[in-house]
Amino acid sequence: MRLSALAWLVAGALSVSAHAAEPAAMTQDPHLWLEDVEGDKALDWVRARNAVSQQQLGGDPGFEALRGELLAILDSNARIPYVGKMGEYYYNFWRDKQNPQGVWRRTTLAEYRKDEPKWEVLLDIDALGKAEGVNWVWGGANCLRPDYDRCLIDLSRGGADATVTREFDVSDKAFVKGGFERPEAKGDLGWIDIDTVYVGTDFGPGSMTSSGYPRVAKEWKRGTPMSEAKVVFEGQDSDISVGAFHDDTPGFERDFVYRGLTFYTNELYLRGADGKLTKFDLPDGAQKGVYREWLSVELRQAWEVGGEKHAAGSLLAIRLDDFLAGKRDFDVLFAPTENTSLASSGATKDHYFINVLEDVKNRIYVLTPGKDGWKREPLVGAPEFGTVSISAVDAEESNDYFMTVTDYLTPTSLLMGTIGKAPEKLKQLPAFFDASAYEINQHFATSKDGTRVPYFMVSRKDLKLDGDNPTLLYGYGGFEVSLTPSYSAGVGKAWLGDGGVYVVANIRGGGEYGPRWHQAALRENRNKAYEDFAAVAEDLIARKVTKPARLGIQGGSNGGLLMGNMTVMYPQLFGAVVCQVPLLDMYRYDKLLAGASWVAEYGDADVPGDWDFLKKYSPYHNVAKDVDYPPVLFTTSTRDDRVHPGHARKMMARMMEQGHDVTYYENIEGGHGGAANNAQSAYMSALAYTFLKQKLFEGK
């Protein structure tokens, strides 16, 4: 188990406590009642807005055909069934027309290689939901080595982040009566052995952090009440979360405690057999990983150790026993340059691998430890172009790996290989649209402060630079998330096929150039992300790809905050905005659901001085009646328990009262992804594309 992969800090619990000494303008917010997620008054308002959008967009002559095409893509049996290996079987979770909520199933490698494998269904989520009267959504399975016959399965109601966990017997294909079971909460349950688990959940008052994650980690024995579980570690209310984990790698079994201080800082402890905790003497901002005999450290800030200085974005490694003995002579597995960053890393039985972004293009390297240090070689058979990702098939048992290759126009391929040998293609998506007429180009815009900002553009090869092409510009710009090229049949069918241009901006706040790219747009410097996005828009206009009346923008979550700020800061640049599951009220964001966990990204309005810059980037507080804004479509989900639907509701209400051209749709289910099944996903996508076409294709 790689502890560095335990990035589970993305949920939260509802808190509506007020800010201390709130300014009168904030306490007089007339739309606070819309934060009552499932209140009758608020839901009546939602249904009324939905009815308007259903008529305006759902009634469009092309809507049903588009929705049907998108659903057919999502339900297609030609999609790649991605698998994970446990023991001798390869497991997959699958949704299609017959199984809208999905089935958990498995097969053998020999079957998986076939065009139409035979699958053994282990759990039917549709049947379970029907039997229990709950719209269950699959949340994943954690199975116990070495037999993988007992699993801890997570399920959520309607796609929320809050889950229940139940023990499942694979042989019996049934939940274990009297087995481990965790009630609904944002938490975690993980195996130690057949009779023991680590549990973090809502144990009652004081057991959850202000961010809504577990504050207490416990060890729970089979046959005892969860309330009697033994405390392993207790964090602070101000922490993001706390968790305990068992590493079951044969020959390297260990136990760890993880403490998330902020979204970007953490502490890691080794738990001894006597329960004693030993803290790893490593920077709080580093991402820590333990695999077999190795300790890895990925730096978010520069660090001087062992007489050496290491830049932020570097990946270091040392033998764990040496580190615990006091040695600090780390090996450098990766050091960033001006145009490279570390996208990810992982390991097989005898090798590490690193995925490097070079100007947002992937390069895979294999690192092998030896007497003379680490040998570095390119991965044999890795493509020269495209988005490439790699993961171990069974890191403890072999040097086999899965590789996924994709770009905007090439259907995604899944390959399987062994380090040192060329991989073989196992699966490939069909071409859901004819890409022969299109091309991908990378361009660079110059931001306000002179920074070069890359962006990808997908367009027809014979594109006329006449400034009249409907163009959709997508962005995110936060949390060190990189936007790399990927195949989207929906974009091809719904946008490119109708003559649109598709653009993705790699703005600051993301991870395209490592921690420095992300940190350049944190907190008071958030404007850098917005200036970068505006620069890309201006570059598209200057190059005569499009003009403001033909330029639409789209983004969700943090990207929804981006959309809100582009609307109020640069209304003259755009002809339409799709703002999905957004943050928009930056005064109250940290008091709603998981918002407190993002203070390190945005700032805290309770802290003197922070509101001075936060209010500049709070769309809800900057929208004005006398400004001509582009038309906006807001979409969200009632069941989103990560980003509160009140953000979109209140912004819609305010802009509607001011007389702006705004449309709203809220899915009653769906969680932070906005949809709980393929049908809902297709419907939400069709709404967005129909809105964009109505606004941007007018007169074409």
**Confidence grade of residue 62 (pLDDT, cut at 50, 70, 90):** very high
What percentage of residues in the chain have a pLDDT greater than 90? 90
The predicted structure's pLDDT at residue 676: 61
The predicted structure's pLDDT at residue 677: 77
The predicted structure's pLDDT at residue 5: 30
* Mean pLDDT score, 321-350: 97
* Mean pLDDT score, 583-589: 96
Q: For residue 312, is pLDDT > 80?
A: yes
Q: For residue 388, is pLDDT > 50?
A: yes
The predicted structure's pLDDT at residue 467: 97
Q: The sheet that has 576-580: what strands, in order across it? A: 438-446, 452-460, 501-505, 471-474, 551-556, 576-580, 632-637, 662-667
The yes-or-no answer on residue 488 being catalytic is: no
**Confidence grade of residue 2 (pLDDT, cut at 50, 70, 90):** very low
* Mean pLDDT score, 126-142: 96
The predicted structure's pLDDT at residue 699: 82
Which tens digits make up the pLDDT trace of 74-130? 988 899 999 999 999 999 999 998 999 999 999 999 999 999 999 999 999 999 999
The predicted structure's pLDDT at residue 25: 45
DSSP state of 395: T
Q: For residue 688, is pLDDT > 60?
A: yes
Query: Treating both helix axes as pointing N-terminal to C-terminal, what angle do 558-569 and 646-657 enclose, rounded to 10 degrees?
Result: 20
- DSSP readout, 262-325? SSS-EEEEEEPTTS-EEE--S-TTSEEEEETTEEEEE-SS-EEETTEEE-TT-EEEEEHHHHHT
Which tens digits make up the pLDDT trace of 491-519? 999 999 999 999 999 999 999 999 999 99
Lowest mean pLDDT among 119-123, 620-624, 649-653, 695-699: 695-699
Rounded distance between C-alpha atoms, residue 221 and residue 228, angstroms: 9
DSSP state of 203: -
Lowest mean pLDDT among 7-11, 161-165, 300-304, 429-433: 7-11
Domain 38-71+432-696 listed as CATH 3.40.50.1820? yes
Q: For residue 675, is pLDDT > 80?
A: no
Q: For residue 422, is pLDDT > 80?
A: yes
The predicted structure's pLDDT at residue 670: 52
Q: The sheet that has 230-234: what strands, in order across it? A: 188-193, 196-200, 216-221, 230-234
* Mean pLDDT score, 199-222: 96
Work out the burial of residue 141: count CB atoms within 10 Å of its CB; fewer than 13 is exposed, 13-18 middle, 19 or more buried: buried
What ranges do the domains of the chain cover? 38-71+432-696
Q: Please tell me the total number of residues recorded for the chain in this structure.
A: 700
Which tens digits make up the pLDDT trace of 7-60? 322 222 222 233 334 444 455 799 999 999 999 999 999 999 999 999 999 999
* Mean pLDDT score, 539-543: 98
**Confidence grade of residue 671 (pLDDT, cut at 50, 70, 90):** low
Rounded distance between C-alpha atoms, residue 500 and residue 511, angstroms: 27
The predicted structure's pLDDT at residue 386: 82
**Per the structure block, which two tokens stand in for 585?**
């009220």
Q: The sheet that has 266-271: what strands, in order across it? A: 241-247, 254-260, 266-271, 277-279
CB 291 within 8 A of CB 6: no
- DSSP readout, 257-268? EEEESSSS-EEE
Q: What is the pTM of this model?
A: 0.87
Considering 246, 644, 647, 672, which one is annotated as catalytic?
672
Bridge partner list, 248: none
Rounded distance between C-alpha atoms, residue 325 and residue 384, angstroms: 42
* Mean pLDDT score, 573-581: 98
Which tens digits make up the pLDDT trace of 226-252? 999 999 999 999 999 999 999 999 999
The yes-or-no answer on residue 557 being catalytic is: yes
Considering 459, 557, 618, 685, which one is annotated as catalytic?
557
* Mean pLDDT score, 519-546: 98
The predicted structure's pLDDT at residue 620: 98
Q: For residue 490, is pLDDT > 70?
A: yes
**Per the structure block, which two tokens stand in for 666?**
């809220």
| Beta-sheet strands, E only, within 150-214 | 150-157, 163-169, 174-175, 181-185, 188-193, 196-200
The predicted structure's pLDDT at residue 700: 78
